Structure 1
């Protein structure tokens, strides 16, 4: 999905209905900052808001996901394209998560023997230090790559307002986490909660 195109379309249709961002936000029960974020292409409506938004703008869900008005003849074709795009996005996110786990695993497999050898086998001190430094470099690099891949796979969903967002790297790294959730601050409602990692934005 092209979030920038969808954002421009939301803005265009809102203006066509003679609504301000604040008025549309009040109709949907959300903040005008959220509408602004959608229109700039920096976010996408959560699932529970898709149909209410379409009703307020007098557009179809298919038109919203396409980011343009769709004729009757194009409707089915666009619907199929949108479904394929959603499935593709989920598959790409899944691949990134799997690749992230593989990088983390390979990092451990590569680094642990270096530390074991450096600590157990007789050798000159400079070789021991070199092995430890290389091991630390491998671990640091592997963890950094795994974090980048995992962060870019899909998004995180706020349990309070349902907003989906990608945190900045500092928030991602510093946030306590489980396998499927990470404690983050939602940019929409400000809640500091464990947000679920989802495959689509």
Structure 2
């Protein structure tokens, strides 16, 4: 789900209000959900939103439905359908943006690699007529251009969608350090899951709620 595109502060205030109506402390609500009270505090402060795996349990404890939780308010019958459609559109928009980033990252990577090869071939082909300082300048420019392109490609790939833990199903965005140093194959990157703590091969998915068969 495109949770980051929703109003975190509004949802946080809504969670806090419902919790207080039920006479629960943050610790008591956290114990019911088997999470830390710091996580509940983070939600209520508007610094984050519940993970997909916690949406239904949280809604059961608060006596609301997922659509109301994501909307940050109680919904009448008339508003329910409209909000549901808005949340679905938010998910579709996030998926489209992630796919665009993936395509652009691939195009950028191919373009930078091609440019590097062309410049190196030109230097080799005209080796006899190009002075040594000019050769060095061209090669340095090609390497810098390739490095910049690689950085942009990696940035877009990291920001596009999420990585899904193979062990617990948690979806998350890795830190830059983890992304750069994490071993990877064509379809997986190895990260330590922030939820279960296991080091597993994580698949790249376009949205938090994307089912397994759509993972790439």
Which TM-score band (shorter chain)? 0.7 to 0.9
Asked whether the equivalents of residues 63 and 69 of structure 1 are also in contact (C-alpha less than 8 Å), the reply is yes
Distance in structure 1 (CA, Å) of the matches to 2:21 and 2:38: 20
Counterparts of 1:44 and 1:81 in 2: how far apart (Å)? Answer: 17
Residue number in structure 2 paired with 1:104:
109
State the Cα distance separating 1:33 from its structure 2 match.
4.1
**Are the structure 2 counterparts of residues 118 and 9 from structure 1 closer, same or farther at C-alpha, using a change threshold of 3 Å?**
farther
Q: Which runs of 5+ in 1 are unaligned?
A: none
CA distance in 1 between partners of 2:6 and 2:104 (Å):
25
Aligned residue in 2 for 1:12: 17
* Separation (CA, whole Å) in 1 of partners of 2:123 and 2:102: 32
Q: Which moved more, 1:124-133 or 1:35-44?
A: 35-44
Aligned to 2:187: 180
Deviations along 1:61-96, whole A, 9 cap, x unmatched?
111121222222211111111111111111111111
2-side partners of 1:161 and 1:42: how far apart?
23
Question: Does 102-111 or 64-73 show the bigger shift?
Answer: 64-73
Please tell me whether residue 82 in structure 1 is matched to residue 83 in structure 2: no
Q: Is the CA contact (8 Å cut-off) linking 1:158 and 1:195 kept in structure 2?
A: yes
In structure 1, the residue matched to 2:60 is 55
Please give the root-mean-square deviation of Cα atoms over the aligned residues, in Å.
2.1
* 3-state SS of paired residue (1:30): coil
After superposition, where does 1:161-200 map in structure 2 within 5 Å?
161-200=168-207
User: Matched residues in 2 for 1:37 and 1:176: separation?
Assistant: 31
Q: Hey, what's the Cα distance between the residues in 2 that align with 1:153 and 1:40?
A: 26
Displaced runs of 4 or more, over 6 A: none
CA distance in 2, matches of 1:3, 1:189: 27
* Counterpart pick for 2:74 among 53, 69, 77: 69
Gaps of 5+ in 2: 209-216
- Count residues with an aligned counterpart: 201
Q: Which position in structure 2 is the counterpart of 1:114? A: 119
> What TM-score comes out, normalization by structure 2 length?
0.82
Relative to structure 1, is the Cα distance of residues 151 and 3 closer, same or farther in structure 2, using a 3 angstrom cutoff? farther
